[in-house]
Amino acid sequence: MKLDLRPLLAGERLLEFDYELPLDSHTEDTTSFLWGTRFPSPMKVTGNITNTAGYMRMCLSLSVDYVAQCARCLSAVEGQFSLSLEKTVAPKDLLGDITEDKLDDFAIIEDGFLDMDEQLLLQLEMEFPLRFLCKEDCKGLCQRCGKDLNEGPCSCTEKEIDPRMEPLRKLLLKMQEEEKEDQK
Ligand SMILES: [Zn+2]
Ligand SMILES: [Zn+2]
């Protein structure tokens, strides 16, 4: 959604907003931070922009319910993610040659409008957890037989591996390697 800031630019003091932003939960892009996570309902966004003698400040909070996957045992992890943020709102031409790293502190008005969705998705990408665990000490799945070790030990003393489980075993090995990478 694009907020029309022209009234504020013309001297109004307050703009309140309250809307919902649906998140694409079936994204095919495996590099997306949203991949593997479902959002059963749209993200809720509420906030306001105040204008004090030309100085504009935005306060907002957002929350969204998610269903993610435990990085170890693949079970569903449900939760709610929320954050609040404050930014200075300024027209692009006023910011001039501000440095890239400072730009994050600003919400930028272009042609009288503020593109909220792009900002919110960027913010979500920065803050949304990269991996979820169903519980801190999740034991994960057995790499050989795929049994959920949270439910008890498996009987992998026998050498035999069900060949049907081989693809899953490889996937788990890969995920565990990636997890080690992440922890570096
Ligand atoms: Zn788990
Ligand atoms: Zn096993």
pLDDT at position 68 over 60: yes
Lowest-confidence region among 92-96, 151-155, 171-175: 92-96
Whether residue 114 is found in the same domain as residue 159:
no
Within a domain: 80: yes
| Together in a domain, 157 and 104 | no
Note the ligand closest to the C-alpha atom of 158.
2
Determine, yes or no, domain membership for 118: yes
- Whether 117 is covered by a domain: the verdict is yes
Q: Is residue 84 part of a domain?
A: yes
- Rounded percentage of the chain residues whose pLDDT exceeds 70: 91
How many angstroms separate the alpha carbon of residue 153 from the centre of ligand 2?
A: 7
Q: What is the mean pLDDT of the chain?
A: 86
The answer to whether residue 24 is domain-embedded is: yes
Share of the chain above pLDDT 90, in %: 49
Give me 116's structure tokens. Answer: 């909220």
- Nearest bound ligand to CA 165? 2
29 and 59 housed in the same domain? yes
Q: Are residues 88 and 17 in the same domain?
A: yes
Q: In the chain, how many domains are there?
A: 2
In Å, what is the CA distance from 140 to each residue of 29, 38, 161? 25, 21, 18
19 and 108 part of one domain: yes
| Residue 41 resides in a domain | yes
Same domain, 28 and 83: yes
Higher pLDDT, 147 or 30: 147
CA of 149 relative to ligand 2 center, distance in Å: 8
Instruction: Point out the ligand nearest to the CA of residue 138.
Output: 1
Q: Are residues 32 and 66 in the same domain?
A: yes
Give the confidence band of 181 by pLDDT, cuts at 50, 70, 90. Answer: confident
Q: What are the pLDDT digits (tens) for 81-127?
A: 999 999 999 988 777 776 667 777 889 899 999 999 888 888 888 89
User: What spacing in Å lies between the alpha carbon of 155 and ligand 2's midpoint?
Assistant: 6
Domain that holds residue 172: 149-183
Higher pLDDT residue, 156 or 65? 65
**What are the strands, taking DSSP E only, across 103-158?**
106-109, 113-115
Same domain, residue pair 97 and 160? no
Domain contains 93 = yes
pLDDT value at position 91? 87
Which residue stretches of the chain are H helix? 6-9, 92-95, 116-127, 166-183
Ligand 1 centroid from CA 84, angstroms: 28
Joined tokens for residue 10: 């013309």
Pair 107, 115: CB distance under 8 Å: no
pLDDT score recorded for residue 44: 96
* Mean pLDDT confidence for 141-159: 85
What spacing in Å lies between the alpha carbon of 143 and ligand 2's midpoint?
6
Does residue 177 or residue 21 have the better pLDDT? 21
CA of 157 to the centre of ligand 2 (A): 8
Is the domain of 101 the same as that of 41?
yes
> 121 and 156 in one domain?
no
158: pLDDT strictly greater than 60: no
For the whole prediction, is pTM greater than 0.75?
no
Is 179 inside a domain boundary? yes
In the structure encoding, which two tokens stand for residue 22, read together? 């649906």
Least confident of 17-26, 74-83, 86-95, 164-173: 164-173
Same domain, 7 and 90: yes
| 74 and 37 within one domain | yes
